[in-house]
Every structure is written in structure tokens, then in C-alpha cells.
Amino acid sequence: MLTILPIAIVSMLLYIPLSIFIGIKKRVSLLHQAIPFVFFVYLLIVIKITLFPISFHNLGNPPENNLIPFKTITTIIAAHSLSYDLYNIGGNIALFIPFGFLWPLVFRNKSKFLKVLLYGFFLSLLSESGKFIISCILGFTYRDFDVDDLILNTFGVILGYFFLRLVFRLQHLRSSTTLKTWYVASPIVILVLIGSLWGYEYVSHSTPQRAQQSYDANVLPLVVAPVSKDAVVIITSTDPRKTDITGYVAEYWRYIKLLGWRLQEISLNPIQNSVGTKEYSVSFIQLSKGTFAWGIASTPQIRNITYRHGGQVYLTHVHNNGFWYMVLPLQQNLVSHSNWSVEFKNGSIMALS
């Protein structure tokens, strides 16, 4: 799974020295560089929210690209879920309010309303097209193109622009003294807004369960398996809204300072019959250290799952809900599928084929 973290780090390492160099060469004060820097951070946030993380695992998501205006909006409103309305509709609007607010401050020669609207629409179109292009590269749908996102994002740009105009009018920004005051105050206001967004994002990822619900509120955790002090694996059923495959999904979450619990990897486990008429399955997730092996044994006759490697025996019990899991001190590419076996309650043992 690709996250935005390495891209953000590289972007910052390129932007900050370049900004300092240009500031020295053109004698631009740090005060006048503050707003462009905030705008740059804001763009990274937009990219992160709209395009990342990128999963390399196909969960069988059926394409649900929407080219009909207001179709998704009316569907969401018809569901009568206030929290989901605020998250989806309100989130798409709020995400682009800072664009309408910041663009005229950064590009003063392109601050006319129609220009701001056009550039905001272009950024939204770029992010939506990015979803479609990345899905084509991956060979499966990882996120959908939705024309309603364009509508909501553009409305957010309009709100941000007129909020800025309102502030200008209230402050009567005509004198240079007041203008300097605005240049000092606006980065603080914007940083407070970004800090509020970060606070909301952190709180929503403060525990593994909250992070999982933030990622997919349509399914509930069935198993929360700690694998280390700062890592857990959460097993849920597959989301029928995202995939037509019936089965289970294991999500590998790690705690990252200042960011909370973040999704690292996904493993899909379709329901299948493999040992006669008895259902069982084996799937893996590569951890930072070792491999998380897991599966489902829905028949109550299976007691234990065993893995043998290099003279070592790793054994785990099947839980009452039918799930089993274990952490192996091996890289996933070293785990052999032929070394697994199941032990039944009658004492018989059968190799997993």
C-alpha cells in the first residue's frame, strides 16, 4: 500500500530550500512566504485525502463511476444519515473552501472570481481524473470518479472566495498598515483551520477501532488482533458496497506519531470450500517484522491450526467465532503453503492443500 508520507517528505525537502533560495534572491520576507507555504501544505492535504492511500490489492470493487450530476448527492440525502451526509457532502465542500480563500492571496494577479473558480474546478477535476487513471494503471477500481464531487468541490471554492471578500470588506484593507496586519493574521487563521482539520483527523484515528470506522463505517470489526505495541490487525467482513466478493478482510494498522492509527496493508480472504465439505482458509499480511497468518474455520470440528517450519511448530486455536490467526517470525515469501495442517476435535490431522 502506497501512502502519501514519502511523497510529502520529498516535496517538503524540495519546496523549503527552493522557497528560501527564491526568498533570498528576490528579497521576499518570511511573512510574504508564509501564505504560499500554507497553500503548498494545503495542496498536499487535498492530494492525500482524494488519492491516498493506494492499495495494490484488488478487493473486487465493481466500478461505480458516476457521470450523472446530483445522483450521488440525492442518494446520500435519501439515506437519512446525518453523520454520513456531513462526512461525504460536507467534507467535499469543506475540502475546497481553503482553495477559494488562499488562491487570491497567493496569486494576486489571478484573483478574479471566474479565474479562481476555474482553477479550483481544474484541481478537483485533476484529483477525480487521478482516481480513474490510477485505477486503470492498477487494473481494478480503487476509487471511483464522481461528477458530484466536482460540483461539491467547486461550491466549496465559491464559499472560500466570498468568505475572503467578506473579510476584506470587514477589515477595510486599504492602508498598508492594515494590509500588513492581515498578512500576519491570515496565516495564523489558516494554520488554525489546518490544525482543526488535523485535530479531527487525529481524533478519528486515535484508536484502531475509530480508524477502521473512519476507513469503512459500513462494516464492524469482528476481530482485533494485537501484533505488537504499535500495530494491530482488524478483521471485518467484506463491504458489499465496495466489492461483490463474499468473505473477510484483514487490515494491518500501525500507530504513527502525530497521525494516529494508519492503514498499512489489506488482505482479502474469500469464503471457499477446500477440505471436503469443511470450510477453511489461509491468508497472509506482511508485517514490519514477520507475517500475520489468518483465516476462517467455520466448521466447529476444527480445533487447531498448525504451521511447521525448520523444526519449529507454531500452533493456534480456532476462536469461537471461527477465526484463527498467528504471527510468524518469517517473511511472507518464506512461508510455505504446504506446511499447514488442521487438527480436528476427534484427534485427526489433515494437511491444508
DSSP string of 166-221?
HHHHHHTTTSHHHHHHHHHHHHHHHHHHHHHHHHHHHHTTSSHHHHHHHH-TTS--
- Give me the sheet containing 323-328, strands edge to edge: 283-286, 291-296, 323-328
Q: How far is Cα 308 from Cα 142, in angstroms, rounded to an integer?
A: 36
pLDDT of residue 31: 66
Report pLDDT for 305. Answer: 92
If asked whether residues 173 and 63 sit together in one domain, one would say yes
- Is residue 189 domain-shared with residue 264, that is, in the same domain? no
Pair 35, 56 in one domain? yes
Are 258 and 334 found together in one domain?
yes
> Do the Cβ atoms of 186 and 180 come closer than 8 Å?
no
Whose cell is 491570515? That residue is 186
Alpha carbons 178 and 163: distance in angstroms, whole number: 18
Mean pLDDT (10-residue bins), the chain, 353 residues:
85 90 81 84 91 73 79 76 63 91 90 95 95 87 89 95 83 56 63 71 85 80 91 87 77 88 84 51 85 86 89 91 90 79 88 71
Instruction: Give ∠ CA 252-201-292 in degrees, rounded to 5.
Output: 5
User: What's the Cα-to-Cα distance from 94 to each of 90, 159, 166, rounded to whole Å?
Assistant: 6, 9, 18
- 192 exposure class (CB count in 10 Å sphere: 0-12, 13-18, 19+): exposed
**3-state DSSP call for residue 146?**
strand
Which domain-ending residue is among 168, 203, 238?
A: 203
Q: What is the pLDDT of residues 47-86, one digit of tens each?
A: 988 998 887 766 555 567 889 999 888 887 775 555 555 6
Domain co-membership, 135 together with 223? no
Q: Note if the bond before 53 is cis, omega within 30 degrees.
A: yes
| Best CA proximity match to 3, nearest among 55, 61, 45, 79 | 55
Residues 263 and 148 in one domain: no
Residues 344 and 213 placed together within one structural domain of the fold: yes
Whether 125 contacts 46, CB under 8 Å? no
Amino acid identity for residue 117 in this structure: L
Q: What is the pLDDT of residue 277?
A: 39
Say yes or no: 36 and 147 in one domain.
yes
229 with 152, same domain: the answer is no
Amino acid residing at 276: G
Q: Which ranges of the chain does DSSP label H, i.e. alpha helix?
A: 5-25, 30-51, 71-78, 82-85, 91-106, 113-138, 147-171, 176-203, 208-215
Where does a domain end: 203, 231, 253? 203
Residues 173 and 319 in one domain: no
Structural domain total, the chain = 2
Same-domain status, 193 and 219: no
Dihedrals φ, ψ of 217, to 5°? -80, -5
Q: CB within 8 A of 74, min separation 6: which ones?
A: none
Domain that holds residue 215: 208-351
Q: Which residue has the cell 482488524?
A: 234
- Give the rounded distance of the alpha carbon of 125 from its chain centre: 19
- Interatomic CA distance for residues 31 and 183, integer angstroms: 7
Find out whether 335 and 328 touch, Cβ atoms under 8 Å: yes
Decide if 233 contacts 291 (C-beta within 8 A). no
- Choose the final residue of a domain: 203, 223, 248: 203
> Do 196 and 55 fall within a single domain?
yes
Amino acid identity at 229? K
